[in-house]
Amino acid sequence: SQMSERAVELLGLPEDRPCLLLDVGCGSGLSGDYISEEGHYWIGMDISPAMLDVAVEREVEGDLLLADMGHGIPFRPGMFDGCISISAVQWLCNADKKSHSPPKRLYRFFSTLYTALARGARAVLQLYPENSEQLELITAQAMKAGFTGGMVVDYPNSAKAKKFFLCLFVGASGPLPKGLGTEGTDGEEARQAKFTTERTRFRNAKGKSVKKSRDWILEKKERRRRQGKEVRADTKYTGRKRRPRF
């Protein structure tokens, strides 16, 4: 489907090697077919046994897992090069059982997804939000789990073609991809701005974190880790000032 193609495009995968992707709410494996065509590997999870049965009958190439994403992503840390999800994440906003807390289920999903993704990977989650409160709730839980990024809206001025993609980065975030059909819609750009990452408030006008601040130190350590250098683990003491004397 077009949405699967667009989601994979927004992942910005390297062209020179096959990647392992997670498809959350994979259903009968239609997105998976496209992922396989593109030369990548995938694992799909879905809460519906009936849909997974269809995927098995269709002999899809990916591995399939019956699971509720609200219980978290049950895979090894750093296992996936990317994640896509087509029209599934908004279901976490519903409390189907008395015990279900939407913020908790969203946080469990995003925090375990964050862990399962490799550094520098992206998750692109296409969703149908009911209202702006739902968008805020979903985005807030994703940011709380450590992701940066925000909402990419394709064709924001079209009632039929408008599509929301939550585009999330693990580790260093590049600029947010541009939504399709957004040329010359300044108002929409301004409205979208509030969905971007929270961390920017610690940065000065040039876009760099204030020197020697905790954020500056964490970013520097992260850069050195990416260069393959030995770096001490981050703790609650990182960037804390010492008192003048002990």
Could you tell me if 77 and 159 lie in one domain?
A: yes
Per the CB < 8 A criterion, the answer to whether 163 and 153 are in contact is yes
Least confident of 17-26, 123-132, 174-183: 174-183
55 and 160 inside one domain = yes
In a domain, 121, yes or no: yes
Whether the per-residue pLDDT at 246 is higher than 70: the answer is no
pTM greater than 0.75 = no
- ∠ CA 175-177-183, rounded to 5°: 115
Instruction: Confirm whether 156 is domain-assigned.
Output: yes
32 dihedral zone (left: phi>0; alpha: psi -120 to 50; beta): alpha
Residues 100 and 31 both lie in one domain? yes
Domain boundary among 141, 170, 199: 170
d(CA 56, CA 48): 13
**Pair (4, 114) in one structural domain:** yes
Q: Is the pLDDT at 193 greater than 50, yes or no?
A: no
Range of the domain at 100: 1-170
The Cα–Cα gap between 176 and 223 comes to: 20
Torsion sign (Cα): 233, 238, 244, 246: negative
Spatial distance between the Cα atoms of 126 and 133, rounded to a whole number of angstroms: 17
Per-residue confidence (pLDDT) for residue 204, from 0 to 100? 54
Answer whether residue 157 shows pLDDT above 80.
Answer: yes
* 6, 95: one domain: yes
Do 95 and 33 share a structural domain?
yes
Is 188 a member of any domain?
no
Element (H, E) at 130: none
Number of continuous H segments (helices) and E segments (strands) in the chain: 7, 7
Residue 184 lies in a domain: no
User: What is residue 194's predicted lDDT score, i.e. its pLDDT?
Assistant: 43
213-224: per-residue pLDDT in tens?
A: 888 888 888 877
d(CA 83, CA 122): 7
Number of structural domains the chain divides into? 2
Question: Are 21 and 98 members of one domain?
Answer: yes
d(CA 109, CA 170): 14
Based on the fold, state whether residues 236 and 133 are members of the same structural domain: no
- Calpha distance 155→133 (Å, rounded): 21
What does the mean pLDDT of the chain come to?
A: 86
In a domain, 196, yes or no: no
Residues 140 and 212 in one domain: no
Amino acid at 61: E
Last residue of one domain, picked from the residues 111, 140, 170: 170
**Domain assignment of residue 200, yes or no:** no
- Residue-wise pLDDT for 53-87, tens only, equals 999 999 999 999 999 999 999 999 999 999 999 99
Same domain as 229, residue 166: no
Strand pairing of 163-169 and 117-127? antiparallel
Quick one: 215 and 95 in the same domain? no
Asked whether residue 189 is domain-assigned, the answer is: no
Is the domain of 146 the same as that of 90?
yes
- With CA atoms as reference, report the closest residue to 37 among 21, 17, 61, 16: 61
* pLDDT bracket for residue 207 (50, 70, 90): low
**β-pair type (163-169, 63-66):** unpaired
Of the three residues 107, 141, 170, the one that is the final residue of a domain is: 170
199 has a pLDDT exceeding 70: no
pLDDT of 167 strictly over 70: yes
Terminal-to-terminal C-alpha distance of the chain: 63
Residue 225 belongs to a domain: yes
CATH code of the domain covering residue 112:
3.40.50.150
